[in-house]
Amino acid sequence: MQLPPEIRYQIWELAFGLKQQRTVVHCVDERGGKFVSNQPISPALYVCHESRNLFLPRKNLTFAFGTYVDFNLDTIYLIDYEEKADKFRRFLESPSAHHIQKLAMRKSLVCEIPMLGHMSESQWEMKRLLKSWVELAVVFHDGRELEAVWKDVGQLFIDLSARAKRRYAEISYARAYTKALNSMMTANGVAETRYRFVRVIE
């Protein structure tokens, strides 16, 4: 006997958290010549036709980086791009990059973007290519290797406390650096980037 539709829908909602607005961190790396996320496609999308039809409209998902991403909520975390100018450029020009609203990078990458020119020129070029980009999470205290980050599909960020921001010199430097970047952008009529200073929740 088949259950009534309203009961089946409730089961799908409970099983796959269809009503939850959960932020997902996607570690995106170049593998097999393509930039892909470490996040698997949700089982709701291939269990059956009914679960797929319920899941997609409610989650505001876009197929990108080999999986489904909610660009309004999810963060794209870049690992292992330091001093790799060609790889970084390929990422910026990859087919899905223009959808990105929220980026995350370690402080070492934020303050040393692997592009030629003044730091303001690198920022301008990133904004030109990442047309939807509005937020950058500057990540501290994450010394993991790429593969460790890649395997951590449940990682989340938490904002640093005001005390932590004052305590460490590298955080103070990053705050001053990003403030200067925003000043340069606004002076040239370019929208500011919203910066967060975060660490990975352990």
Look-up of token digits 């592009």: 115
Q: What is the mean pLDDT of residues 4-12?
A: 60
Mean pLDDT calculated for residue range 5-13: 60
pLDDT at 160: 95
Query: How far is it, in rounded angstroms, from Cα 128 to Cα 132?
Result: 9
What percentage of the chain has pLDDT greater than the value 90?
70
Kindly report which listed range (15-19, 51-55, 68-72, 176-180) carries the lowest average pLDDT score: 15-19
Q: Per-residue confidence at 121, pLDDT binned at 50, 70, 90?
A: very high
Least confident of 1-10, 22-31, 81-90: 1-10
pLDDT at 49: 66
- Work out the pLDDT band at 52, boundaries 50, 70, 90: low
Q: In this predicted model, what pLDDT tens digit does every residue of 141-183 receive, in sequence order? A: 999 999 999 999 999 999 999 888 888 899 999 999 999 999 9
